[in-house]
Amino acid sequence: MSRSVLYTSSPLLASKTPVWRSKFIVAGFALIFAALAARAAYIQIYANDFFQRQGEVRFTRTLALPANRGRILDRNGLILASSVPASSIWAIPEDVDATPAQLAKLARLLEMPLAELKKKLNDDRNFVWIKRQLEEPVARKIHELDIPGIYQRREYKRKYPEGETSAHVVGFTNVEDIGQEGIELAFEKELAGKAGTRRVIKDRLGRVVEGIGEQVPPVEGRDIQLSIDSKVQFVAYQKLRDAVMARKARAGSVVVLDTITGEVLALANYPSYVPDRRQNLTGEQLRNRALTDTFEPGSTMKPITVAMALEAGRVKPQTLISTSPGRYSIGGFTISDTHNYGTLSVEGVIQKSSNVGALKIAQKMTPHEMWDTYVALGYGQKPKIQFPGAVSGRLRPWKTWRPVEQATMAYGYGLSASLFQMAHSYTAFAHDGEIIPVTMLKSREPAVGVKVFSAENAHAIRRMLQMAAAPGGTGPLAQTVGYSVGGKSGTAHKQVGKGYASNKYRAWFTGMAPIESPRIIVAVMIDEPGDGKYFGGIAAAPVFSEVVQQTLRMMGVQPDISVKPEIITQMVEESF
């Protein structure tokens, strides 16, 4: 039988409780509610911005709206680089739910080993890039697999229609579409444009739930039109490649300049690479040798030495210079010619490429006079061209020159320059004594130059260059059909450590055409010919001839000499 309890008669209720205790409890509850109200007011009114930002961090995102990268065009509007749509594959690994067969098919479509795909999916449970910038047909097939946790992002991929022919000009971008080499790097700001923005709310899987705020549209990248003529570029690259392979050489470069506007019509190097397929790319392929490699120019500097002396009034074209007995001793060194040419006129010094004659002409000038002219022609200075990687070469201060060094500089030893600098310096001969600025961008106006030599002396040098490239000179293989040419060959031992290699050479030829009113300058360099034919007049001059012939024809320049069939049978002479 249960026992009943009479609560009303409980001793606890009969006891008297102090009034202050109940008031204390009520006051305590009141303070708690006041604190909660104050906290709510603080969060919703005073600290609203902070907590709003915290909420946005967790749920809202600012999406970048990529700007379409500008195109790179040649002077005639032909596309050298453009962007095409592409898809990148990414995943949330913890959400990936695929059968072994689906994973195997995905790996095949991505052209990656299945083990590599599985490793990527195990690297990070929240997010991982699987493969960037896939072709659209492949992306569609991946989408059809309908694998949970595998997603796609729309991007742009750079395409280079001219491939390896113009690779060293246009350069390339990385996977983020940022320029890394060439024009892509030099004009990154203009080509890239400015990305837009869009504010959205995303769910845990990264899916857009709602758009919020105003959308800022992207500013598309600007097209860049180059001075390069893709047809001339193709010819230059093709003839250079053929010569490097025929001569069993290590590498080569060609530069073609417009003598009126200063535009670079072609800049080619071999070996090259395909800009949008860069797997296993080596430094040998990547180097833009025409701008980055410097060398001692050798005999191509002799016309500059003679031009200095003409301008200073120390010699005239017919001044006689004794070169007997074909060698000259100075400062404990003996400088030699390939033959004993006896007494030569100044013109003959260039025609026969006499080292002894060149140094004797240089001795008629002071080191300061020579140094001033070298600097005026751009030697020892970084070329002022809109292109990355161009080097300055080496030209020591004139006060440090010893007599033997002044002598060797007369025929191209003791200073260094790039092939591009050499071609640029010859604009002073082609443009009536003015060295003109060069540009990689299309120009419609004649260039305004800086006077270095008088027009009369520049014309005299052109006559000497014509003699040097004619039968009896060192570069008759530079002759072309229908056009008069002039130029100077050069051959130099390559530096190895502190000395010179006895069996490694660089050969080059720099010249212009038509000779009376030059329209183009072409400079050719062949690095380490391996077939024993290493003289510039043999290894480089034929490339000059072919490039000049086809370039002038494509430019619509009228032939200036009648076409006469002839066969050059004489031996080519050359001097280091």
Element counts in the chain: helices (H) and strands (E): 22, 23
Write phi, then psi, for 458 (nearest 5 degrees): -65, -40
Helix (H), strand (E) at residue 360: helix 355-362
Q: Among this protein's residues, is 272 annotated catalytic?
A: no
Cβ atoms 296, 415 nearer than 8 A? yes
Cβ atoms 364, 337 nearer than 8 A? no
* Region class of 23: left (phi > 0), else alpha (psi between -120 and 50), else beta: alpha
Closest CA to 311 of 368, 351, 365, 377: 365
CA atoms of 435 and 447, how far apart (whole Å): 9
Residue with tokens 């006129």: 345
Cβ atoms 55, 201 nearer than 8 A? no
Structure tokens of 115?
Answer: 């083990």
Cα dihedral 182/183/189/190 (nearest 10): -170
Which residue among the candidates 83, 230, 253, 299 is catalytic per the annotation? 299
Helix (H), strand (E) at residue 499: strand 499-513
CA atoms of 560 and 481, how far apart (whole Å): 10
CA atoms of 526 and 251, how far apart (whole Å): 6
- Three-state DSSP class for 320? strand
Cβ atoms 379, 415 nearer than 8 A? yes
Tell me the CB-side half-sphere exposure of residue 253, using CA atoms within 13 A: 27
CA atoms of 522 and 535, how far apart (whole Å): 17
Strand-pair partners of 264 = 257
Cβ atoms 235, 547 nearer than 8 A? yes
Q: Helix, strand, coil proportions of the chain in percent (round to 5)?
A: 40, 25, 35
Return the sign of the alpha-carbon dihedral for residues 361, 366, 367, 369: negative
Cβ atoms 310, 317 nearer than 8 A? yes
CA atoms of 548 and 550, how far apart (whole Å): 6
CA atoms of 366 and 434, how far apart (whole Å): 22
Structure tokens of 200?
Answer: 């959205």
* DSSP category for residue 440: S
Helix (H), strand (E) at residue 445: none
Amino acid at 145: L
Q: Which residues are catalytic?
A: 299
